[in-house]
Every structure is written in C-alpha cells, then in structure tokens.
Amino acid sequence: MPADLHIHSIASDGRLTPEEIVKQARNVSLSAIALTDHDTVDGIQAALEAAGSSGPEIIPGIELNTDLDGAEIHILGYYLNLGDDLTGTLAILRTARENRAKMIIAKLEQLRIRIDYEHLKRVAGRATMGRPHIARALYEAGYASSTEEAFERYLAKGKPAYVAHHRLDPFMAIETVLKAGGIPVLAHPGLAKKDELIPEFVARGLQGIEVFYPFHTPGDVARYEKICLEQGLVMTGGTDCHGPGFNYPPLGTVTVPDETARRLKYLHNRRSIEQQAGISGRTENI
C-alpha cells in the first residue's frame, strides 16, 4: 500500500483536522501518512490517537520554511522525536511568524488595506500563522475575491506586502531536524530552482529529496531521481494536501511505495542506535 509523505492540517495552514486526515487516509487505503505542518508538530498527537492501532502509520514530520538569498526553501523532517530538542526552536519560529504577520499587516497598511491583527488571530486559531491565514483575512474583509487573488496581488514573493521568513536558513533547518532524531529531506526543489545548493545540503546531512510532487514536471522528476541515485538519497513524495480551498490535489493522489517510509524509519533507527552507542556520525558535530 502507498504512503503520502506531505500533508498539512489545521495545526498550520491546512483546513483539515488531524482526525479528518486519518479518516481520509483510511478511505484511500494508505499504509502510512506523514503530517508535515509548517514549523509545528502540534497536530501529531491527535493523528496518532485517531489512527490508534488500526492505522495508517503516522510518521511524525514537519516542514520547516526557510529563506536563502531570496529563495523559499522548505526542509521536511521525518520520524522526529517529539521532545525537548524541538520545542525551543519551534517556539521561536511561532513567535517569528507572528512578528512577520505584523510586518505584513504594516506593509498592507501602506497600501491603505487594513487587516486587524485580532481578526487574523481568529482566522489562524492555534495554528502557526502563515500567509494563507492573511490571504483568508484579506478575502473575508473584501480586499480580494479569493485567497489566490490575495497572494497574486499582495502576498506572493515579489508582491508589495511580501515579507520573507528571517529566522532559519536551510542549513539551520537541516540541523534542527537532525537534532530531533529526524531525517531531513529537501521539499519540492522544482519550485525553488536552486539545484546548485543540493551538494552543500547533502554535506550538512540532507538524506532525501521530494521527487514526486504535484507541481513537478516530468523533467523535474527525472532530474531529481538521477540526483538521488547518484548521491544515495531517499526519493520521497506526497500531495502537499492542505484540504479544501487550496490548489493542492487530494490526499493520496501523489504517493510513494511503503518501502520508502520503511527506508526513512531505518535511517532514523540507525542514527538513534549510533547516537546511543556514542559513535559520532557526520551529523553529530553540527
């Protein structure tokens, strides 16, 4: 049975609860799903409880949003230990996202567009705050005819209210995942088009590339498959499903074989054993 390794819930900018995601995954007979919310693992406990012993397997994951030289680079982490190693960094990222939202609101104000921060907080709820929440607030306040238009006019990179994430660069993101016992994977590299950075990411501990992705062209897939084969990286994939109201395809429509999840788990277990035995791998001195 296949696995979908890239899914967002209401813990970040998705529209489905972890429980709804588990239910949908069962409906389409997935063996494993990874919850990969932006900068948070808050949805994972609920997904684990919803899956219980009947499955699907819930892979504790994350997607860390970073910026490097103006490019948006996202790092996925799989089989994370949900402990103290993550908590501090994620708390910093949550606050940084709130401050960034305030900066975006200030830029919108210069365009005579008034979004009330309290309104935005109601839209985001307990989620890590992101541009999709601001897009929804703009739509609800009548400044855009859709969230998509809000991005096109104001929020997308290069538009007047765009603000980058400042806290993490991709190297720090890889380090954060490794410290939490996770396996770092480069998300949708076909979007950022920064292939020249891949060797440096690998040198810093990257172990996979998201090859199978809804918006990758056949040329992208072939190129990243080749890089993975040459460099011994795991080929991952998934839908990036955000639930209704987004352009991403439904859960389970882009998948990888179950063996891919087992390979990631193996890498995670091997690192844990090495660390317990005090064997210093290349990742330990970062």
Residue number of the CB closest to Zn ion reads 240
In the range 51-90, which residues lie near ligand AMP by CB under 6 A?
Answer: 65
Residue 190 makes contact with ligand AMP by CB under 6 A: no
Residues 181-220: x where in contact with Fe ion by CB under 5 A, - otherwise, as a string: ------x---------------------------------
Distance between CA 241 and CA 52 in Å, rounded?
Answer: 22
- The verdict on 148 binding ligand AMP (CB under 6 A) reads yes
State the Cα–Cα distance between residues 85 and 160, nearest whole angstrom. Answer: 36
191 binds ligand AMP (CB under 6 A): no
By beta-carbon proximity to Zn ion, the closer residue of 89 and 239 is 239
User: Is residue 151 a contact point for ligand AMP (CB under 6 A)?
Assistant: yes
Is residue 38 close enough to count as binding ligand AMP by CB under 6 A?
yes
Output 151 or 213, the one with its CB closest to ligand AMP.
151
Q: Rule CB under 5 A: is residue 74 a binding residue for Fe ion?
A: yes
CB closer to ligand AMP out of 5 and 227: 5
Q: From the list 4, 42, 220, 240, which residue makes contact with Zn ion (rule: CB under 5 A)? A: 240
The residues binding Fe ion (CB under 5 A) are 13, 74, 187
